Amino acid sequence: MAMILISQGRDMTPWAEALKEKRPELDLRVYPDDSNKEEVAFALVWNHPLGVFKEFPNLKCISSMGAGVDHIMKDPELPANAAITRVTDENLTRDMADFCVALVMNHLRGLAFYKMQEAAHDWQPRHYLNISDVTIGVMGVGVLGAHVASQLSNLGFKVNGWARSKKMIEGVEIFSGDTMLGDFLATSDILICLLPLTKETTDILNRDTFQKLPKNAFVINVARGAHLVDADLIEMIDTGHLSGASLDVFRQEPLPEEHPFWSHPKINVTPHIASVTEPKAVVSLILENYDRVRNNEHLLNVVSPQKGY
């Protein structure tokens, strides 16, 4: 039985090194590879060439190298008999919360504006917001969103969360389902998107959604670029309904040189670095699932093909 690494545009060396360090005897291949494809039962992937899995008739598991699986689910030719899994990791979860806290505090204290004023040698103190002035709405309170919501609540923010199903997170009020979306948005002075990208959540950050937010709301998207309708965000900021946005993810990455987000004074751009999967931190989990495939046992972190996450 063999494992194959498949990616377009991501350096596989740290993954191969981390896997080999943990399991030197692993039959590990890196796509493209001409060895017997029937031996491959496990694929570890990020942005694979669509349709590639047809080459491996005995594939039992396709594992994402990250938390998101949209890059796998968009393949119209997924093998029916292979489970889809993803990684969860306490470092990834912690880093996402740290990053969201940094963006929220940056917004409250207007640090991005002072950076612009500094460039212009302009000394203009501005009114700033306190923790008690704002309510934060976290869209998607799964592994990452739930921790982000808890950390912000621990800092003293009033925090609401939105998910498909009801759940309990201490200090966080949960709104569930499409029927409660409007009420959730109406209280979100800062909206943080941590949804997975699915049919239902594509384009969810649109004009209609933004209009339901309070005036001067601020938008943070750290999930996927295709949640956001770019032109709607710019329109809602330029017409004064939204105060600005911090974006870490984009429809096209890297963000094209000519994209208006780069130069918009009220939009902060970061290069998909909110929380980065460290191969060394997750190879034990991946090897655990590899062993479970070999022993025909149930896998960890399985994604629901129906829900798409």
Distance CA 95, CA 246 (A): 16
Query: Among 41, 43, 67, 83, which residue interacts with ligand OXD (rule: CB under 6 A)?
Result: 67
Name the active-site residue from 107, 147, 224, 292.
224
When CB distances are held under 5 to 8 angstroms depending on the partner's kind, the choice from ligand NDP, ligand OXD, none that residue 152 binds is none
Question: Contact at 8 Å (CB) between 202 and 224?
Answer: no
Distance CA 84, CA 62 (A): 5
Q: What are phi and psi of 101, to 5 degrees?
A: -60, -45
When CB distances are held under 5 to 8 angstroms depending on the partner's kind, the choice from ligand OXD, ligand NDP, none that residue 194 binds is ligand NDP
Minimum CB separation of residue 114 from ligand OXD in Å reads 29
CB atoms closer than 10 angstroms to residue 264: 17
Going along the chain, which residue ranges are E strands? 2-7, 28-30, 40-46, 61-64, 83-85, 135-139, 158-163, 172-176, 190-193, 217-221, 242-247, 267-269
Active site residue 86: no
Name the active-site residue from 23, 164, 207, 272.
272
Task: List CB contacts of 148: < 8 A, sequence separation 6 or more.
Answer: 96, 97, 100, 138, 192, 194
**Counting contacts by CB under 6 A, is residue 214 touching ligand NDP?**
no
Active site residue 259: no
Q: What are phi and psi of 53, to 5 degrees?
A: -65, -20
Minimum CB separation of residue 114 from ligand NDP in Å reads 25
* Total residues binding ligand NDP (CB under 6 A): 29
**Counting contacts by CB under 6 A, is residue 72 touching ligand OXD?**
no
Query: Among 246, 277, 289, 301, which residue interacts with ligand OXD (rule: CB under 6 A)?
Result: 277
Q: Which of residues 18 and 193 has its CB atom nearest to ligand NDP in the complex?
A: 193
**Counting contacts by CB under 6 A, is residue 68 touching ligand OXD?**
yes
Query: Among 66, 110, 145, 244, which residue interacts with ligand OXD (rule: CB under 6 A)?
Result: 66
- Mind telling me the catalytic residues? 224, 272
> Where do contacts with ligand OXD occur on this chain (CB under 6 A)?
66-68, 277
